[in-house]
Chain A
Amino acid sequence: MKKYILISPWSKMLRDNSYNPKNYPHWKEVVRDLVNSYDIVQVGVDGEEQLVHDFRIDLYLSEVAELIVKSYLWISVDNFLPHLAHLLKKQGIVLWGESDPLIFGYPENLNLLKSRDYLRKDQFGIWDGRKHRPEIFVDPEVVIKAVRG
């Protein structure tokens, strides 16, 4: 297997089954660019949108941990994966929207935040009912450049 990039593209679906506002809206563009140079492995749960051929669903945490450790790089939104990666001392890229990387992130990662102006005021409130705003996320070129750089 070539060097692979591990992606964890989605945050947990909300209770009302709506799209989580933390989800990065430009995954397809990123994947389209990177897939020629890298194997890409996606982790997630059954029911989430599949972005790549190698989509591994409902893994044990130990299996996810192994994928993180053996990856060339991981890219994630603000979900569980950056926290697990921090414990495994594996750096990666986190794509932020409204949640604050200073609170929920780790400094060793590359935290891509378009602007602190877009951060929600109530960082500890629930996400249910919040509208997804694609414009507050960095452009896919920024992500691609970060990976290749």
Chain B
Amino acid sequence: MSDKELIIVANGCTDNTKEYLTELSEDERLPHYSWMWFDEPTGAPRALNEGIMAAQGEYILLLNNDVKFLKQRKDQIIKMHLKEFEKDPKVGIVGPIISHCVPIDRDFIIFFCAMIPKKLFEEVGLLDEIFSPGAGEDVDFCVKAMDLGYKIAIAGAIEDTRPGLYVGSVPIWHKGEGTVHDEELIKDWPTSFKRNARILAERYPPESGVVRMEERKHILCAIPTKNRYHTTLPLAIASVISQTMKPDRLIIYDDGEHKDLRQFPTYMYLFKSLDDAKIMWNVEYTDGKGQHRAHQKSNTSGYDLVWRLDDDTYAMPDVLEKLYSHIKDDDKVGAVAGSVITPGEEAKDITFATGLFDINSMSNIQWRKGKGVVEVEHLYSSFLYRANIAHYNLELSKVAHREETMFSHELFLKGYKLLVDRSAITYHYRNPEGGIRTERDGRLWEHDEQIFRKQIDKWGYKLIALSHGLGDHFAFMNIIPKLLKKYRKLIMFVTYPEVFEDIENVEIRPLAYAQKWGVNEKGLYEWCTLYNWKRSIVEAYEKIYLD
């Protein structure tokens, strides 16, 4: 380091950094060492600018604090970068990694490690601190430099790309986003990241004139998968690639054997196609405890919208575009689904369920294609939804029975509309291999059904079965006002439905369906006999249902 200047800009440090930096001043190996101290975090752009302004050298190598120089020949990293400037005088920025900024469709050097001539800062300007706390300032600087005629170049060569990891020939290791996910250091990084992306999108609209950030609304496609690598998962991925409207990112949540999909040619082709379609993607290994956990991750990943697909589905090319068209301009829409049909086994019923309490007695309206857009109370399988409003119930077992029903109904109860566009078709193959279909323990489904029933109680629904005579039905009517003060809605399984027609917040179902909901009638006459009841039956009903 005798011929190199080292400048460290410490900002917002709360550990023993100050002591460490002070000690370094005594290190004879660093004759040209200096450091700056800021008590409060300045954000990366400002911190880098302070160092840039203080630097004396002809070239400046910017480095993040989560990098590590690996074993190398003397000055190997420096020489690898300098070589690119020597090869081409038009090169203005060199780094180990070139990345692509999707919102503006431009390449850039990631500034975790980047070498830039000092004089370029005089021409382009310093890093724009509007991007504080960070992310985007490197894109912005590179684009400005390229617009002035400079080039960006890779030091060395990229040897391999893997989901979320780059491997190049420069001997440097970068943890990546080592600071930003610490909530104590940076609050709400996802919001900050999105804001910066929008700034870039507004500053540098792509040549097509379309600002993709605004169009896409940060859509994440989430496909949880379990051991369907060689059957239907490729179909689901292919259908994402083929969408007329692309999501911003696809995450495949592998809840199964955690295979390295890159080893399979099918997936190499699919991944290349995703790259070509400019859909960012990665595979995330999850803990095998059920797809609802993966869905909750995607739900809280910072995206505005999540499009969930099962790993045994194929969405027709216009599905996402159709679903998005209903949600993009209507804040009241919480989620949109299409028809999700099993080819050759489409439901043939005449009437279909749209309400929550029809799920045990009627086919879901999504199970058959049709025309028009219908409002429903819950959704099934695949749909597009506003993220981070409702949450998945993590108490469910690994079969995650009723997960999407509970999730979507929670959105509904929060005041959002749930829509089904029956013309948006996704094929659901109900693959017998993999997924939950290999689970044989019925207790898992029973466990989840109990969770569901408890949730129904928590939501304020009261399920009541009445098998008594007509007179007793009328007597029960007397306590309905009091019941409706206590509960959100009454779901009544009765012998004489006409008694309870047209009462607000009372839904009627045939008595025969009570058992499917685990509702047993609280036998009025048995109860009265047991307690030697001498008062009116209206008072008996009050005692049974309101006490």
A contact residues vs B (CB 8 Å cutoff):
12, 60-62, 78-84, 86-87, 102-106, 122-125
- 21 of the cross-chain contacts (CB-CB < 8 Å) are A12-B469, A60-B498, A61-B496, A61-B498, A62-B498, A78-B471, A80-B470, A80-B471, A80-B474, A81-B471, A82-B471, A83-B471, A83-B473, A86-B478, A87-B478, A102-B535, A103-B537, A104-B471, A104-B537, A123-B528, A124-B529
- Tell me the bound Cα distance from A82 to B525 in angstroms: 19
Which residues on the A side are within 8 Å of B498 (C-beta)? 60-62
Known: A60-B498, A61-B499. A103 touches B471 (CB 8 A): no
Of the listed residues A62, A105, A106, A123, the one surrounded by the most CB atoms of chain B closer than 10 A to its CB is A123
Chain A minimum-CB-distance residue to B496: A61
Which residues on the A side are within 8 Å of B537 (C-beta)? 103-104
Asked if A102 contacts B471 (CB within 8 A), the reply is no
Q: How many A-B residue pairs have CB under 8 A?
A: 52
List B residues 497-529 near A (Cβ within 8 Å): 498-499, 524-526, 528-529
User: What is the total number of residues of chain B having a CB less than 8 Å from a CB of chain A?
Assistant: 22
Is B158 engaged at the interface, CB distance under 8 Å to the other chain? no
Beyond contacts A105-B536, A124-B528: 7 other A-B pairs, Cβ-Cβ < 8 A, are: A80-B474, A83-B470, A83-B472, A87-B474, A104-B537, A106-B536, A125-B529
Asked if B474 contacts A122 (CB within 8 A), the reply is no
Is B545 engaged at the interface, CB distance under 8 Å to the other chain? no
- Tell me the bound Cα distance from A109 to B473 in angstroms: 19
- Tell me the bound Cα distance from A99 to B274 in angstroms: 77
Asked if B536 contacts A103 (CB within 8 A), the reply is yes
Query: Shortest Cβ distance from A40 into chain B, in angstroms?
Result: 22
Chain A minimum-CB-distance residue to B523: A124
Query: Shortest Cβ distance from B519 into chain A, in angstroms?
Result: 22
Is B477 engaged at the interface, CB distance under 8 Å to the other chain? yes
Is B534 engaged at the interface, CB distance under 8 Å to the other chain? yes
Query: Shortest Cβ distance from B368 into chain A, in angstroms?
Result: 33
Chain A minimum-CB-distance residue to B470: A80
Of the listed residues B471, B472, B526, the one surrounded by the most CB atoms of chain A closer than 10 A to its CB is B471
Contact of A103 among B469, B474, B526, B535 (CB under 8 A): B535
Asked if A80 contacts B469 (CB within 8 A), the reply is yes
B contact residues vs A (CB 8 Å cutoff):
469-475, 477-478, 496, 498-499, 524-526, 528-529, 533-537
Known: A80-B470, A80-B471. A103 touches B529 (CB 8 A): no
- Tell me the bound Cα distance from A123 to B526 in angstroms: 11
- Tell me the bound Cα distance from A62 to B533 in angstroms: 32
- Tell me the bound Cα distance from A102 to B534 in angstroms: 8
Chain B minimum-CB-distance residue to A126: B525
Asked if B529 contacts A86 (CB within 8 A), the reply is no
- Tell me the bound Cα distance from A81 to B529 in angstroms: 24
Chain A minimum-CB-distance residue to B526: A124
Asked if B471 contacts A79 (CB within 8 A), the reply is yes
Asked if A86 contacts B534 (CB within 8 A), the reply is no
Known: A60-B498, A87-B478, A103-B534. A122 touches B471 (CB 8 A): no
Query: Shortest Cβ distance from B277 into chain A, in angstroms?
Result: 60
- Tell me the bound Cα distance from A82 to B538 in angstroms: 13
Query: Shortest Cβ distance from A22 into chain B, in angstroms?
Result: 11
- Tell me the bound Cα distance from A84 to B474 in angstroms: 6
Which residues on the A side are within 8 Å of B470 (C-beta)? 79-80, 83
- Tell me the bound Cα distance from A125 to B535 in angstroms: 16
Chain B minimum-CB-distance residue to A100: B534
- Tell me the bound Cα distance from A12 to B537 in angstroms: 19
Of the listed residues B475, B526, B534, the one surrounded by the most CB atoms of chain A closer than 10 A to its CB is B475
- Tell me the bound Cα distance from A104 to B528 in angstroms: 12
Query: Shortest Cβ distance from B340 into chain A, in angstroms?
Result: 40
Chain B minimum-CB-distance residue to A84: B474
Query: Shortest Cβ distance from B45 into chain A, in angstroms?
Result: 73
In the complex, the 10 A-B pairs of residues with the closest C-beta atoms, listed nearest first = A83-B474, A124-B525, A80-B470, A80-B471, A83-B471, A124-B528, A124-B529, A84-B474, A61-B498, A83-B475
Query: Shortest Cβ distance from A133 into chain B, in angstroms?
Result: 21
Query: Shortest Cβ distance from A132 into chain B, in angstroms?
Result: 18
Query: Shortest Cβ distance from B468 into chain A, in angstroms?
Result: 11
Which residues on the B side are within 8 Å of A106 (C-beta)? 536
Which residues on the B side are within 8 Å of A81 (C-beta)? 471
Query: Shortest Cβ distance from A137 into chain B, in angstroms?
Result: 19
